[in-house]
A and B are shown apart, each in its own frame.
Chain A
Amino acid sequence: VSQTNALDQMSARALARAIAAKSISSVEATTQSIARLKAAHELTNCTITLEADEALAAAKAADATQAVARAPLGVLHGVPLAHKDMFDRVGKIASWGARIRAEQPATRDAAVIERFKAAGSLQIASLLLTEFAFGATGHNYVLGHGRNPWDPTRITGGSSAGTAAAVAYGAIPAGLGSDTAGSLRLPAAFCGVTSIKPTWGRISKAGAMPLAACLDTLGVIARHVEDLALMLGVLAGPDARDTSASQVPVPDYVAALDAPVRGLRLGIDEALIREAHPAIQKMLGDVIAVLASVGLVKSNCTFSDWQRIDQMTQVMQLPDAASAHGAYLRTRPDDYGPQVRARLEVGHFISGVDHMTALRARGTVLQRVLATTFRDIDVAILPVNADPSPTIAELDVAGGPNMQAAIARVIKYTRPINYLGLPTLTLPGPRHGGLPGGVQIIAKPYAEAVLFAIGQAYQRMVPPEIARPLKA
């Protein structure tokens, strides 16, 4: 294996160790990462802005610091990453995946950017997202659609499309995304990588572009579960700038990676799973078999009222997003792409009473799910994608009459989880030579450590892969 190939397969954690041991420099790692990202972009349209010069200068500085360090540096010291282009960064204007952007550069980094910088990581690029992070497929009618690295005629999933494509290709080991109705999970599933959508409020949203703040959850997409654990440990915790950021203590997620999983009860809602395409049911069955082989115990569970919760999520999300975009939608409607514009408009038709009812009912519904669905299980498993990877053309519904039904099917298994605020780990199923798909493991509030232990055990059996176009 050449060094280039070895580097593209390394986890961020392993790369940080190699840089700390001086077996590779940050400049070498960053140079190679930039080259791979250029190739990934050609294939997938994953990059909005490449920041090669800035990143190499930062890498050079990281190497200089490393050379004289007398104590351990940050856990991501010198590691090149790239993130969804929706976070404030000093002196820059984030694209938001849109034509409409802030008028002035940011004067302070988003909390997640600050924390990654404090841990020593570099940012080599800002990555594609669907317009305003409001899209589940990776279509972006303003900046161009994302293309799947396994088959560029197919969707990446969205909205964190560029992060998933770049990670899957091996350009970067991990990057930031966000999830309001499935935007970390869907692209991870369609691109064949992992993601963590933590408990709502686990990560500060300060300085992140809002879509629907009552549902928005920041998280990480990576090939290796150990990177999800490492990075959530860096990112999680309270923040004076975001009152919704949780005060619950942050455990040592990395230490939890090797916790025993034998005996954990895996909840399976067979009726809900049967609503997925047969190929997805088969893939989910393969994952369950792997998890059973490492000691998880299969158990039945029921997510009752799934469709109702999905509708309540929409009643929360649409007015929230419509309100955030209230000024631009009135003054610059033609600067929106057709799909986002049509979806935002719907939010203006939902009554304030219905919106408040959905907000007020959220605690009651969560309490019922914890008391019933999770009564006799530790975690539950569901598909992420209901159907095998569609082509970009098949889901090119823009803002037309088929939009609502098409999007609803794509996010069938993801959107209700945002209403519940539960932490969810995405794992790619065994591919057997075909296109990837993903499952989500859903845990109780703040039980991310359990998810990481399960994910680590799974990846010992089904190792991460690098995406390249499949032969026809």
Chain B
Amino acid sequence: MTDRLPDTEPAGYLDMPPERRTAARAIVKVLSATMATVALELPLNADVDDFRRILLDAAPNTGART
């Protein structure tokens, strides 16, 4: 295990060679930049349950909902 890594190292508890850590950071940097733009546009009251509600609201009217 890489227990020599400082506590501040992300995922320091994982046994990863330096090149995979570098690759992981590069992937996440791109994703995080995108999420920064998403966060700027997202209203305060956006909720994880919105997704299920919108799926349900869009369901064809096939009769009584249970």
A residues sitting closer than 8 Å to B (CB atoms) are 199-201, 238, 244, 246-249, 251, 308, 311-312, 314-315, 329-330, 333, 342, 345-346, 348-351, 353-354, 356-364, 366-367, 370, 399, 401, 404, 421, 444-447, 449
Contact = CB atoms under 8 A, between A and B. Distances in A.
B23 A314 contact: no
B50 interface: yes
B5 interface: no
B55 A360 contact: no
Contacts of B34: 308, 311-312, 315
Contact of B31 (A201, A315, A401): A315
A249 B42 contact: no
B8 interface: no
Interface of B: 10-11, 13-16, 19-20, 23-25, 27-28, 30-32, 34-35, 37-39, 42-43, 46-56, 58-60, 62-66
Contacts of A312: 34-35, 38
Most buried by A among B30, B54, B66: B54
Contact of B52 (A201, A399, A404, A444): A201
Nearest to A200: B55
A346 B10 CA distance: 10
Contacts of A360: 42, 46-48, 50
Contacts of B49: 363
Given A346-B28, A357-B38, A360-B46, A249 B20 contact: no
Given A330-B14, A345-B16, A446-B55, 10 more contacts: A251-B60, A314-B31, A330-B13, A350-B28, A350-B32, A357-B35, A363-B49, A404-B27, A446-B60, A446-B62
A333 B2 CA distance: 12
Contacts of A351: 32
A362 B46 CA distance: 9
Contacts of A366: 51, 54-55
15 contacts: A201-B52, A244-B52, A247-B66, A248-B62, A248-B65, A329-B14, A345-B14, A348-B11, A348-B24, A349-B10, A353-B35, A354-B35, A359-B51, A363-B53, A404-B27
